[in-house]
Structure 1
Amino acid sequence: MANEICLDWWGKASAGAILGLGLALSLVGLYAYLGPGGIDAPGGRYSLMRYLEVFVWVAVFGFCFLFRSGRAAWAWLGAANLIAFTTLFACRFYFFV
């Protein structure tokens, strides 16, 4: 029983670390494109994006332990990454040409 919990913990933690980073990058990128002023907004926008990325990554990493299993964490975070990066790709290449 303890071995199963340990393996499940590693699955959740690795999903949060790897897929959480991708999700944080894509969500902050979406905010950069769709936020106030768009991607070319003046001011200290780039430093805000760098700091916001860390907070989103930590939040996703913290919430990944609420999944029932490591497999579920990988599946849901993978689907969220796919949706977020597809939306980011659409914003980058289709909406703002």
Structure 2
Amino acid sequence: MLGKSTAAAILGLPLSVLLVGFIALLSNDQKSTTLPLLLLFFLAWVGAMIAAFLFKTGLRAWLWMGGASIVGYTALYFLKASGLMEVAG
């Protein structure tokens, strides 16, 4: 239970930032969708923390959530570096 709790507390935040960030970057009108997405961020964070408790063991929660964070942030970096996604000014 301690492994799941620490995975939820530590890895839930980066996963929810990643999810909200992808949605914000994919929107056509970033200026009008940023505030509603920031308000929905808390729900995404709670959902990510709840998802940690769906795994059978704490090690699986750490591995899956950590792996998803690494893969997601790597994909986000390469999408922004290649110019396929950009932040509106």
Matches within 5 A, 1:22-37: 22-35=14-27, 37=28
Any unmatched runs of 5+ in structure 2? none
**Residues 14 and 69, structure 2, Cα contact 8 Å, conserved in 1:** yes
Between Structure 1 and Structure 2, whose CA radius of gyration is higher?
1
CA RMSD of aligned residues (A): 1.6
Q: Within the alignment, does 1:48 sit opposite 2:8 as a pair?
A: no
Q: Within the alignment, does 1:72 sit opposite 2:56 as a pair?
A: no
Offset of residue 96 of structure 1: 3.6
Offset of residue 92 of structure 1: 1.9
Report Cα offsets for 1:29-87 as digits up to 9, x if no partner.
Answer: 1111113x1xx5332x2221212221111011112111111111000000110111112
The 4+ residue runs of structure 1 with deviation greater than 4 A are none
Any unmatched runs of 5+ in structure 1? 1-8
State the number of aligned residues. Answer: 85
Aligned equivalent of 1:89: 77
Aligned-residue identity in percent: 34
TM-score, reference length from structure 1: 0.77
Amino acid at match of 1:33: L
Offset of residue 93 of structure 1: 1.8
TM-score, reference length from structure 2: 0.83
